[in-house]
């Protein structure tokens, strides 16, 4: 097999994203026949069937779905090369590559970066949002200087600094009957429409365990991958969400109420370090983030206390 052609991989990714040769051509500014040739050449080079043609649309094979994950890593690597080249051209105060759960990107992470820039004004930041599972792996591959995610207890190989622990909260549409309650119990969720987190979420596993333990069956479900999108679904009256406190910090709460949830579900996460030598900037930034997280937890706790008074 010859060395793979970058344009072939570009064509493959574009077809996977758009679902058609024509759509890929529009993104790449190529004709549909040109994209088709790229895909056929790639299939021949790899000796793999990548797409099943069904009229205008194409359906990826199982091999294509597995290959796509590796192709995405390839392009992420190319992006990092470009970022590094830019950093080397304009090197001033250094750079910090951060991978973080998307829920932190709503407010906590921007606030921590804002504070850190007061100390390191020339520092460049590169931020990537992802699930904890992917963050753990990416940081261990040294793709980032630091990560912020949930670390399963069995991952004893991960070096990390625990952040302050908070408890899951319940978000309820403002005009829902349960909005009148001071706190929401798991039994209150019986037959209620729920906004669920993605299957890779540790918090989702905690919620499902609480539901099962109480013998509670929820109603219809809307599943969303990232917890910081839960408030938007709740605000539209689409269901009740049990989520982390960080998801609500930057949200418009006009049409939602925030309540305690019982049983208490601990939401803990950590600053995650790579296996290689730790960046002093990453260590210092973790301390700044720790202080921001503590303040954010305290803010929500005050709001929850006011519900009782």
Same domain, 113 and 184: no
Strand order through the sheet with 95-101:
124-130, 95-101, 146-149, 270-272, 160-162
Same domain, 203 and 135: no
The pLDDT score that the predictor gives to residue 253 is 92
Query: Is the residue at 85 inside a domain?
Result: no
Same domain, 183 and 259: yes
Query: Is the residue at 302 inside a domain?
Result: no
Burial class (CB in 10 A: 0-12, 13-18, 19+), 221: exposed
Query: Is the residue at 55 inside a domain?
Result: yes
CATH code of the domain covering residue 222: 3.40.190.290
Same domain, 139 and 281: yes
Same domain, 198 and 262: yes
Same domain, 256 and 187: yes
Token pair recorded at residue 106: 């709503």
Query: Is the residue at 181 inside a domain?
Result: yes
Q: Which DSSP category does 72 fall into?
A: H
Diameter over CA atoms, the chain = 71
Q: Can you give the residue range of the structural domain that contains 133?
A: 92-164+269-297
Q: Which DSSP category does 55 fall into?
A: T
CATH code of the domain covering residue 42: 1.10.10.10
Token pair recorded at residue 278: 């730790």
CATH code of the domain covering residue 151: 3.40.190.10
Same domain, 233 and 281: no
Same domain, 172 and 126: no
Query: Is the residue at 180 inside a domain?
Result: yes
User: Which of 18, 36, 71 is a domain's end point?
Assistant: 71
The pLDDT score that the predictor gives to residue 2 is 59
The pLDDT score that the predictor gives to residue 157 is 83
H or E stretch including 133?
helix 132-140
Beta-sheet strands, E only, within the chain: 51-54, 57-60, 95-101, 124-130, 146-149, 160-162, 166-167, 169-173, 183-185, 194-197, 221-224, 240-243, 256-262, 266-267, 270-272
| Beta bridge pairs of residue 162 | 270
CB 113 within 8 A of CB 144: no
Query: Is the residue at 206 inside a domain?
Result: yes
Query: Is the residue at 79 inside a domain?
Result: no
pLDDT along the chain (309 residues), means of 10: 77 86 85 89 89 81 88 79 63 81 93 95 92 92 94 87 96 96 96 92 94 92 92 96 94 94 96 88 96 94 76
Same domain, 153 and 293: yes
Residues 6+ apart with CB under 8 A from 161: 270, 271, 273, 286, 290
| Beta bridge pairs of residue 221 | 194
Same domain, 105 and 251: no
When divided into structural domains, the chain yields a total of 3
Query: Is the residue at 86 inside a domain?
Result: no
The pLDDT score that the predictor gives to residue 93 is 56
Same domain, 258 and 185: yes
Same domain, 155 and 144: yes
């Amino acid at each position: 097999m010859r060395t793979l052609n970058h344009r072939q991989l570009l064509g493959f990714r574009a077809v996977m994203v758009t679902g058609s040769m024509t759509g890929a051509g529009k993104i790449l500014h190529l004709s549909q026949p040109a994209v088709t040739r790229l895909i056929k050449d790639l299939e021949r080079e790899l000796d793999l069937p990548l797409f099943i043609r069904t009229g205008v649309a194409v359906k990826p094979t199982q091999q294509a779905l597995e290959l796509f994950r590796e192709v995405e890593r390839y392009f992420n690597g190319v992006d990092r090369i470009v970022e590094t080249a830019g950093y080397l051209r304009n090197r001033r105060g250094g750079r910090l590559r951060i991978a973080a759960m998307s829920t932190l990107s709503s407010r906590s992470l921007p606030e921590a970066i804002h504070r850190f820039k007061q100390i390191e004004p020339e520092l460049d930041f590169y931020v990537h949002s992802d699930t904890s599972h992917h963050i753990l792996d990416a940081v261990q591959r040294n793709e980032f200087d630091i990560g912020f995610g949930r670390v399963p207890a069995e991952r004893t190989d991960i070096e990390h600094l625990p952040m302050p622990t908070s408890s899951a909260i319940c978000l309820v549409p403002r005009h829902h009957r349960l909005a009148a309650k001071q706190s929401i119990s798991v039994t209150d969720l019986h037959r209620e429409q729920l906004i669920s987190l993605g299957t890779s979420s540790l918090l989702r596993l905690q919620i499902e365990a609480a539901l099962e333990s109480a013998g509670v069956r929820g109603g219809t479900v809307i599943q969303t991958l990232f917890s910081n999108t839960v408030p938007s679904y709740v605000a539209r009256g689409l269901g009740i969400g049990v989520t982390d406190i960080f998801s609500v910090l930057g949200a418009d709460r006009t049409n939602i109420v925030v309540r305690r949830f019982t049983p208490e579900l601990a939401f803990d996460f950590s600053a995650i370090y790579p296996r290689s030598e730790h960046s002093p900037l990453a260590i210092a930034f973790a301390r700044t983030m720790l202080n921001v997280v503590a303040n954010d937890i305290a803010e929500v706790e005050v709001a929850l206390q006011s519900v009782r008074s």
